[in-house]
Chains A and B, each alone.
Chain A
Amino acid sequence: MLRAALPLLGLPLAAAGAAEEPTQEPGSWGEPPPGLALFRWQWHEVEAPYLVALWILVASLAKIVFHLSRKVTSLVPESCLLILLGLVLGGIVLAVAKKAEYQLEPGTFFLFLLPPIVLDSGYFMPSRLFFDNLGAILTYAVVGTLWNAFTTGAALWGLQQAGLVAPRVQAGLLDFLLFGSLISAVDPVAVLAVFEEVHVNETLFIIVFGESLLNDAVTVVLYKVCNSFVEMGSANVQVTDYLKGVASLFVVSLGGAAVGLVFAFLLALTTRFTKRVRIIEPLLVFLLAYAAYLTAEMASLSAILAVTMCGLGCKKYVEANISHKSRTAVKYTMKTLASCAETVIFMLLGISAVDSSKWAWDSGLVLGTLFFILFFRALGVVLQTWMLNQFRLVPLDKIDQVVMSYGGLRGAVAFALVILLDRTKVPAKDYFVATTIVVVFFTVIVQGLTIKPLVKWLKVKRSEHHKPTLNQELHEHTFDHILAAVEDVVGHHGYHYWRDRWEQFDKKYLSQLLMRRSAYRIRDQIWDVYYRLNIRDAISFVDQGGHVLSSTGLTLPSMPSRNSVAETSVTNLLRESGSGACLDLQVIDTVRSGRDREDAVMHHLLCGGLYKPRRRYKASCSRHFISEDAQERQDKEIFQQNMKRRLESFKSTKHNICFTKNKPRTRKASRKKKDGVANAEATNGKPPRDLGFQDTAAVILTVESEEEEESDSSETEKEDDEGIIFVARATSEVLQEGKFSGSLEICPSPRIIPPSPTCAEKELPWKSGQGDLAVYVSSETTKIVPVDMQTGWNQSISSLESLASPPCTQAPTLTRLPPHPLGTEEPQAPLDLSSDPRPSFAFPPSLAKAGRSRSESSADISQQQELQPLMGHKNHTHLSPGTANSHWCIQFNRGGRL
């Protein structure tokens, strides 16, 4: 199919067009081998995949072009643009080739293009919301679709009987019912494409979208039943056939769902055992989901339902089992595939429409169909909503109904189904094709274009993201339990009761079975929120630099009530994975710039502030195992981090104290602090250092890392750096803009440790695995000053005070290096440092003294810490902002390189 079709796409691209010519040549000359050919043109061997790739490339390029103009994309949904592009391409092809031989092939569509989209939507479906509205969704999907199919079919037949359809359209009641069944189903691809750009409220979205997914079963059954009836001829249809038709509805839908759930179970179970082969985790997800689709398709069950259920069912367990990197990989691959498929579908739809040989126009039929699908959709929605509202806690109001009626978009599924019709059995096929195309175009383009203004005009409640708070999460759980309990007391076993039962069952058996133990331990929603909040705090804390330093020392940035200062873009960061439902099923597409920026910012911040995301200095050699040196890398990290901190503390003692003050006192720190330090040092395999000297910021960060480690417990697998890896590319942009730029200008070169950017990219996720404790030194490592500066400080304090020259200061510090391979590399370090001295660098003697006094008596620390923040705040943030910023600049700068 693609083989035949894709050259057409290639034609406009002169290259591909030209490339096609030589395809014949090797074949025709092939007989006498003229010796060793220096150059052989083997187009035919690569033709098919080459064209597929080109195809997708064109679609992607088109997307890029569309998004160049924000204005256009904010007004016109992408699907419209793609269809129009398809039309144009199709037109060009038609003009060049004088014939249109390509269209959206049902086989490709159902086997390759549809599954990714459905999987994506199933997997990222907000399950709580989905099940909360399951009743309504099912009603609209089943009753609504049946209603639409029969009324539309019957009305068209009536139209024909009334003589409004040209007599050349040879179709009986069954034909029209068949047509009605295929045209009636709301299309998930179209709905998704349009609705995710219109941010309506969650309930509305989930109802329309859920309907479009679940009605597949009904559509498939209706279509098949009607089709076979038409093929049998209406005279031969027995009563039992009707009964069978009804029965098949259940078989197809329940069967499809069952297949999906079985595969979801298998998938969850498999991922439980992938601890040592993390690299295949994403693959497993896709393979098994696809297997579910194919299996259902094979058994002629509802494949869409199967994949939806598979995604919906497995997500919780899979997400818990697979590593964080895999999670990111799954997410991005899924989104990429879905977006890709969607793009291609719409483009092909446009191209197919040009193929006039399949068209047969009948105005009566076309207009009648258009009117009927709109009318009956609206009528059906109103009737069903009225019925549903009798049972719904929160009734769907009129505006909701308007949007639901109007959101009934038809799409590629209808088109693929109508193409599948057999012309010999359905003589009116060409008319149906034309009508379907018009309907699809009308709904996608006209309704797609107008739905946004409509939603705005009707003031439909929009969805809003708000970040989860611990309180909300906790209380939500409480409410669930309260409601379940009240239902018990009332003696009515309703939704809450069963949900509660299910959760208990899930917790007791299913989760135990399907989640690996360590994952199970940390898989609590409240804990999850807590964990996220902590990360967010860390980020926004670092983000703010020293600005939150208040004498109370209590400001937690993520606290909603006080975070006016802390309210940066970063604080919204985790909203997507937050407990609140995120309706943007393709959120990475729609809000790309914002998210990426946030991610990028966070990336830097974490880079600078936490150990974990930075364990990537060493160039990894293995391509097959990503988990090898996690431990040692981490040790190295910690070591490096400490070293860096110390260096920085040389430079700007005060900030670090401030930094210290805020964090540890407020958070879990004080309790865990000692613990964390001891632990970190133990893992470092180094003798305990003097806490007094060691930059306290580093201590805290250690705590952070410990904290996370604890949550992962026995396995060292990390729940690390939320969404960091994939955003690294956006970093440079981020750094150029906004508030960081200022600080960058002020102190352009405080970087001490040049990171190795390539490493970060080359390396696959570091993963668990217990490495040995020896600290590994790669060439990158050596860029860090491998010194124990505590001694250095003590020994060279005088020279420091006399003249601030960092290189000199560093050199003696090497003396008391712990038994450590790093020592061998030491000469590089001073060099590296000296190459990058800040011109303004100078140690104020008073500060140095303060630092020393700290180092000398650790008992003094707390006192110092009480005092320092005020001091530091005043001195640096206000008096010398440049210096104050330098500390952070270091990290931002580094992040930029990553």
Chain B
Amino acid sequence: MGSRSSHAALIPDVENIRRETGFSQASLLRLYHRFRALDRSKKGYLSRVDLQQIGALAVNPLGDRIIDSFFPDGSQRVDFSGFVRVLAHFRPIDDDTGVRDPKQPEPLNSRTNKLRFAFQLYDLDQDGKISRHEMLQVLRLMVGVQVTEEQLESITDRTVQEADEDGDGAVSFLEFTKSLEKMDIEQKMSIRILK
């Protein structure tokens, strides 16, 4: 790292990114190095392959989906600001939750945005609803042990029914939020080092 690391100015467009994501200078720098390290061929952006190289991601049942979330709208590359923007969802929520400028958009790490991030991992076709099929796919990934397909389907039915309030057989974002209202999302979807 050496001399490089002391210059946050090296990061392109650093001020804008900071404002948008709320990351501290140090975190940004750290992420920038990580970004550079992942970008093996020094092309200035990351492609899917770059992320797929990360060994542990390959065994993570949600690895692919998380990689996908870095590439919204079918794009094939993600630059640093896009990279940071995704990670900003996992920044712990600031303590000073007092007055926030109502005109400003909700920070990326708000509860809603954290939930939205999770939601879009389920919602593959991005129609704003987790359909039964999508739920089934997630459950197939998550239920580790060998349950039969039938059992899996009944779990799925059950899960969807449980959350589905308007009876359309799918879970909307609102219903998704509601099903998690007792959970401490702020804590469960934050990583400490991403201050």
Contact = CB atoms under 8 A, between A and B. Distances in A.
Given A478-B118, A486-B87, A668 B154 contact: yes
A808 interface: no
Say whether chain B's binding surface is mostly helix, strand, loop, or mixed. helix
A728 B151 CA distance: 32
A488 B163 contact: no
A392 interface: yes
B99 interface: no
Interface residues of A, number: 57
A527 B155 contact: yes
Contacts of B95: 395
Interface stretch (A117-125, A338-346, A468-476): A468-476
A148 B51 CA distance: 49
Nearest to A466: B182
B138 A474 contact: yes
A276 interface: no
B62 A478 contact: yes
Contacts of A58: none
Interface in B81-117: 87, 90, 92, 95, 117
A482 B193 contact: no
B40 interface: no
B45 to A, nearest CB: 15
B8 to A, nearest CB: 17
Nearest to A393: B192
A500 B157 CA distance: 27
Interface string A140-151: 000000000000
A733 to B, nearest CB: 32
Given A488-B54, A526-B142, A471 B191 contact: no
Interface stretch (A517-525, A626-634, A768-776, A798-806): A517-525
Nearest to B156: A470
B56 interface: yes
Interface in B173-194: 176, 178-180, 182-183, 187-194
Contacts of A476: 183, 188
B54 A471 contact: no
B57 to A, nearest CB: 5
Contacts of A392: 192
Contacts of B31: 490
A391 interface: yes
Interface string B150-175: 11011101110111010100000000
Contact of B146 (A395, A521, A554): A521
* Centre residue among B117, B167, B187 by max chain A CB count within 10 A: B187
B14 interface: no
Nearest to A470: B159
A530 interface: yes
A474 B148 CA distance: 18
B143 A524 contact: yes
Nearest to B184: A394
B157 A668 contact: yes
Given A471-B180, A522-B145, A504 B63 contact: no
Contacts of B117: 482
Nearest to A487: B191
Contact of B193 (A481, A488, A492): A492
Interface in A498-553: 500-501, 504, 507, 520-524, 526-527, 530, 533-534
A490 B161 contact: no
Nearest to B135: A474
B14 to A, nearest CB: 18
A487 B189 CA distance: 12
Nearest to A472: B183
B66 interface: yes
B43 interface: no
A19 B151 CA distance: 65
Interface string A543-584: 000000000001010111100000000000000000000000
Given A478-B62, A530-B155, A470 B183 contact: no
Interface string A310-347: 00000000000000000000000000000000000000
A477 interface: yes
Contacts of A482: 62, 66, 117-118, 121, 189
Contact of B189 (A394, A483, A490, A559): A483
B158 A560 contact: no
B143 A527 contact: yes
A492 B87 CA distance: 13
B90 A481 contact: no
B182 A472 contact: yes
Interface string B57-79: 10111110010000000000000
Interface string B117-149: 110011000000000000000110011111110
A825 B173 CA distance: 62
Contacts of A561: 165, 178
Nearest to B89: A486
A484 interface: yes
Contacts of A492: 191, 193
B4 interface: no
Given A487-B191, A489-B87, A559-B161, A507 B60 contact: no
* Centre residue among A470, A471, A476, A507 by max chain B CB count within 10 A: A471
Nearest to A711: B151
Contact of A526 (B57, B92, B155): B155
Contacts of A527: 143, 145, 147, 151, 155
A690 to B, nearest CB: 26
A785 B111 CA distance: 61
B60 A485 contact: yes
A474 B57 CA distance: 19
B92 A475 contact: no
A374 B121 CA distance: 50
B161 A483 contact: no
B145 A479 contact: no
Contacts of B19: none
B7 interface: no
Given A391-B192, A488-B57, A496-B191, A474 B139 contact: yes
Given A485-B66, A486-B90, A527-B151, A560 B145 contact: no
A497 interface: yes
A481 B60 contact: yes
Interface in B18-69: 31, 34, 37-38, 51, 54, 56-57, 59-63, 66
Given A488-B57, A556-B162, A671 B183 contact: no
24 contacts: A391-B192, A472-B182, A474-B139, A474-B159, A477-B142, A478-B121, A478-B122, A478-B138, A481-B60, A482-B118, A483-B191, A485-B57, A485-B66, A486-B87, A488-B56, A490-B34, A492-B193, A520-B145, A527-B143, A530-B158, A560-B162, A672-B150, A710-B148, A710-B151
Given A485-B56, A526-B155, 19 more contacts: A393-B92, A472-B182, A479-B118, A481-B60, A481-B61, A481-B62, A482-B117, A483-B90, A483-B191, A488-B56, A490-B191, A492-B191, A494-B193, A523-B145, A526-B143, A533-B158, A556-B158, A560-B162, A671-B154
